[in-house]
């Protein structure tokens, strides 16, 4: 979708307040929009009938954003409706522009209490206890049910009773491993010191050990009175006959099921209803879970304890340090793979009858190519534009053979230089993307085009109408389609479908030179592949090279979408209009640094919503 900063460039802001919605804008909407987006009819699932005043209209932010894009491009009103008069067009776009402009009054968004995801919980337990054991897996803690967006969205995480039971089990299993497994001798020593203390020193030792442990577990300083209940629990267990280690173990368990551990609680000191910077410890937690999906390490926590982490130079140094650490591989697993929808590859089932070379190992190789490409983007601090086109990829012998690349030997993956005649480069040439957007026996241009719009450009089409996924029975009064393209065109000719398919299908057909498992082909059944695309306002383009040119022309939209996705992931929530000024600054800044990945990360960390919070 076209973002607000782009709209502001297209329609420069006037030095006036937004027009009154009820008096000025509602009549325009009634005249031109409600016949298709009202109580009786909701084309594309959009209903503007509830927008009667400014307050109710503001709740429909995403619909207005989409409307602005379509008015600008001429897609709305549709061809069968009269065009918007210039004065009505300016009233509508002027209200949208002004009503959602928060640049004068920055807003970090709603205050959120974020729960550790399964992956975050698992890695945090490993790092906290210094053990090589996965308590989440052992206790059966389930993966998040991600319907849309990323698994760390605060709104989709709930501490249900059944999940709490698993956290109790996981705590028991983790502590049992820590205190009994031979492989954890080093972890126990770092926690307990040389051995059990003398009896007269036991109380002090409990408080020292538990104070340090709680500081790390709660990811913030803990007062003596917070440590005291845990220390008394250990003393009571010791008095009841338990060993020193067993008593300590009983005191540690409540910490591992505490809200202060399972939740990312933030308590900025500020008056109610105001906005302020988060403290250094909150910043350390935000940073470590953003880049590492785990707790801050000793260096990061130490800087927070000193109160120096928020200093811009120190913060930038820490961002680069964290990005260069192997733990930052979490960005590939939790951000890139989710954003690119890579888990969908596991659901792809190419028919062995049609594609006998598609094996489990080839599927794994496709997945690994995408993963290594994203890791390299981070590790070598490459430009995010290489996601659209690059002169290299990663392959082992099996994948190189599948792609027709120069000889690569062995099962190990190596970086491979690409030639123009290889037709690869960037994610659009990767077997993982091409396979997961195909049917079992053929390509699926609509799915491929939709993936480009939704994932790369952030402009997803509206949901299809009911039964849109099925081809209608042949019409006896209509000539049989000569090609699959004609068949799809007939299917998409419905008035409710044609507008979206005009945007989707040309992108997908430009990728027809790749078959359903990503092999290159120059013909289908002896006929040249039909790889011609045509878009309104763009014209004709052909094949993957033409598609890449189209996407290069859409570079600002792509860059803003990547920034938007990463900011959303960092904040753990869906973005809204109040995030647009931050996105403006991020996009402007990274353009001046050749769109390098580290520049994007640093700008997200330095953004207003990342470093600020509303009081409850």
pLDDT tens column, 285-307: 999 999 999 999 999 999 999 99
Over residues 192-220, the mean pLDDT reads 86
The pLDDT value given to residue 340: 97
The pLDDT value given to residue 476: 58
- b/e map of 187-219 (b: 16 or more CB within 10 Å)? bbeebbeeebbeeeebeebbbebbbebbbbbbb
Gap between the Cα atoms of 502 and 170, Å rounded:
52
DSSP, collapsed to helix, strand or coil, labels residue 539 as strand
Q: Are strands 392-395 and 275-277 parallel, antiparallel or unpaired?
A: unpaired
pLDDT at 473 over 70: no
DSSP, collapsed to helix, strand or coil, labels residue 541 as strand
Gap between the Cα atoms of 162 and 459, Å rounded:
38
Query: Which is higher by pLDDT, 164 or 538?
Result: 164
DSSP, collapsed to helix, strand or coil, labels residue 580 as helix
Over residues 252-272, the mean pLDDT reads 90
Q: Are strands 532-535 and 539-542 parallel, antiparallel or unpaired?
A: antiparallel
The verdict on whether omega for the bond into residue 77 sits within 30 degrees of 0, i.e. cis, is: yes
Tokens of 504: 């989707």
C-alpha to C-alpha distances, 529 to 277, 485, 509, 546, 560, nearest whole angstrom: 57, 11, 9, 14, 33
Question: Tokens 């290159």 sit at which residue?
Answer: 520
Residue-averaged pLDDT of the chain = 89
Please provide the DSSP assignment of 8-67 as one string.
HHHSPPPSSPPPPIIIIIHHHHHHHTTTTBSSS-BGGG---TT--SHHHHHTTHHHHHHH
The pLDDT value given to residue 494: 64
pLDDT at 7 over 50: no
The pLDDT value given to residue 508: 95
User: Which regions of 358-495 does DSSP assign to beta strands (E)?
Assistant: 392-395, 414-417
The pLDDT value given to residue 479: 62
Tokens of 306: 């000193």
Q: Are strands 275-277 and 612-614 parallel, antiparallel or unpaired?
A: antiparallel
C-alpha to C-alpha distances, 264 to 15, 120, 229, 298, 474, nearest whole angstrom: 41, 11, 21, 18, 57
pLDDT at 356 over 50: yes
Element (H, E) at 208: helix 202-217
CB 14 within 8 A of CB 94: yes
pLDDT at 610 over 70: yes
Q: What is the 3-state secondary structure (H, E, C) of 212-263?
A: HHHHHHCCCCCCHHHHHHHHHHHHHHHHCCCCHHHHHHHHHHHHHCCHHHHE
pTM: 0.89
DSSP, collapsed to helix, strand or coil, labels residue 468 as coil
pLDDT in tens, 495-527: 666 777 888 999 999 999 999 999 999 999 889
Gap between the Cα atoms of 541 and 483, Å rounded:
20
Query: Which is higher by pLDDT, 472 or 430?
Result: 430
Tokens of 175: 């502590």
pLDDT band at 1; cut points 50, 70, 90: very low
pLDDT in tens, 367-389: 999 999 999 999 999 999 999 99
Over residues 131-142, the mean pLDDT reads 96
pLDDT in tens, 90-136: 999 889 888 888 887 899 998 888 999 999 999 999 999 999 999 99
Phi, psi of 247 (to 5 degrees): -65, -40
What percent of the chain is modeled with pLDDT above 70?
A: 90
Which DSSP symbol is given to 481? P
CB 130 within 8 A of CB 186: yes
pLDDT at 10 over 60: no
Gap between the Cα atoms of 206 and 233, Å rounded:
10
Return the minimum-mean-pLDDT range out of 165-179, 194-208, 333-347: 194-208
C-alpha to C-alpha distances, 352 to 360, 398, 524, 582, nearest whole angstrom: 11, 17, 18, 49
CB 222 within 8 A of CB 238: no
Helix axes 498-509, 484-491, angle to 10 degrees: 160
The pLDDT value given to residue 467: 59
The pLDDT value given to residue 5: 38
The pLDDT value given to residue 549: 95
CB 117 within 8 A of CB 144: yes
The pLDDT value given to residue 271: 78
DSSP, collapsed to helix, strand or coil, labels residue 590 as helix
pLDDT in tens, 486-502: 666 665 566 666 777 88
Q: Among 36, 159, 26, which residue's Cα sits nearest to residue 95?
A: 26
Return the minimum-mean-pLDDT range out of 334-338, 390-394, 490-494, 506-510: 490-494
Return the minimum-mean-pLDDT range out of 43-57, 66-80, 138-152, 318-332: 66-80
Burial environment of residue 51 by CB neighbours within 10 A (0 to 12, 13 to 18, 19 or more): buried
- Residue 98 burial (CB count, 10 A): 14
Gap between the Cα atoms of 324 and 380, Å rounded:
9
Gap between the Cα atoms of 388 and 503, Å rounded:
19
């Amino acid at each position: 979708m076209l973002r607000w900063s782009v709209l502001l460039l297209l329609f420069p802001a006037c030095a006036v307040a937004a027009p009154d919605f009820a008096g000025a804008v509602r009549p325009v909407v009634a005249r031109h929009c409600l016949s298709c987006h009202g109580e009786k009819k909701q084309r594309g699932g959009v209903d503007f009938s509830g927008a009667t005043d400014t307050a109710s209209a503001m709740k429909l932010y995403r619909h207005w954003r989409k409307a602005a894009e379509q008015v600008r491009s001429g897609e709305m009103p549709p061809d069968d409706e009269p065009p918007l008069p210039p004065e009505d067009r300016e009233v509508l776009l002027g209200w949208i522009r002004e009503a959602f402009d928060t640049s004068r009054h920055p807003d970090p968004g709603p205050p959120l209490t974020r729960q550790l995801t399964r992956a975050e919980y698992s890695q945090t337990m490993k790092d906290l206890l210094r053990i090589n054991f996965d308590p989440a897996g052992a206790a059966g803690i389930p993966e998040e049910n991600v319907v849309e967006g990323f698994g760390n969205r605060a709104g989709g995480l709930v501490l249900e009773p059944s999940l709490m039971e698993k956290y109790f089990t996981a705590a028991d299993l983790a502590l049992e491993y820590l205190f009994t497994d031979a492989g954890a001798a080093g972890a126990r020593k770092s926690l307990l010191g040389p051995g059990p203390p003398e009896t007269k020193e036991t109380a002090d030792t409990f408080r020292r050990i538990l104070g340090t442990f709680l500081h790390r577990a709660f990811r913030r300083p803990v007062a003596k009175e917070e440590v005291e209940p845990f220390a008394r629990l250990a003393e009571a267990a010791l008095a009841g006959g338990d060993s020193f280690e067993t008593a300590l173990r009983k005191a540690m368990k409540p910490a591992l099921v505490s809200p202060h551990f399972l939740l990312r609680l933030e308590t900025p000191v500020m008056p109610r209803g105001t906005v302020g910077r988060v403290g250094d410890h909150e910043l350390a937690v935000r940073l470590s879970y953003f880049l590492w999906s785990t707790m801050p390490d000793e260096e990061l926590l130490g800087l927070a304890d000193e109160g120096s982490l928020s200093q811009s130079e120190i913060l930038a140094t820490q961002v680069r340090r964290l990005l260069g650490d192997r733990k930052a591989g979490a960005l590939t697993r939790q951000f890139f793979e989710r954003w690119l929808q890579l888990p969908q590859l596991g659901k792809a089932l190419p028919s062995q009858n049609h594609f006998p070379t598609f094996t489990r190992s080839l599927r794994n190789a496709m997945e690994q190519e995408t993963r290594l490409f994203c890791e390299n983007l981070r590790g070598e601090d490459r430009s995010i534009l290489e996601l659209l086109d690059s002169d290299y990829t990663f392959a082992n012998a099996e994948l190189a053979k599948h792609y027709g690349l120069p000889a690569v030997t062995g099962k190990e993956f190596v970086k491979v230089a690409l030639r123009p005649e290889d037709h690869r480069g960037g994610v659009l040439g990767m077997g993982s993307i091409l396979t997961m957007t195909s049917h079992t026996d053929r390509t699926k241009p609509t799915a491929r085009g939709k993936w480009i719009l939704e994932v790369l450009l952030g402009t997803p089409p509206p949901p299809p109408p009911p039964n849109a996924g099925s081809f209608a029975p042949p019409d006896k009064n209509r000539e049989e389609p000569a090609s699959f393209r004609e068949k799809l065109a007939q299917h998409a000719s419905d008035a409710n479908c044609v507008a979206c398919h005009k945007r989707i299908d040309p992108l997908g057909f430009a990728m027809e030179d790749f078959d359903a498992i990503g092999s290159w082909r120059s013909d289908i059944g002896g006929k040249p592949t039909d790889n011609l695309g045509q878009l309104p306002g763009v014209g004709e383009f052909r094949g993957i090279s033409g598609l890449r040119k189209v996407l290069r022309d859409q570079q600002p939209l792509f860059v803003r979408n990547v920034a938007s996705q990463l900011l959303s992931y960092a904040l753990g929530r869906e973005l809204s209009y109040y995030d647009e000024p931050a996105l403006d600054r991020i996009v402007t800044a990274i353009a001046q640094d050749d769109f390098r990945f580290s520049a994007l990360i640093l700008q997200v960390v330095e953004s207003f919503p990342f470093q600020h919070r509303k009081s409850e």
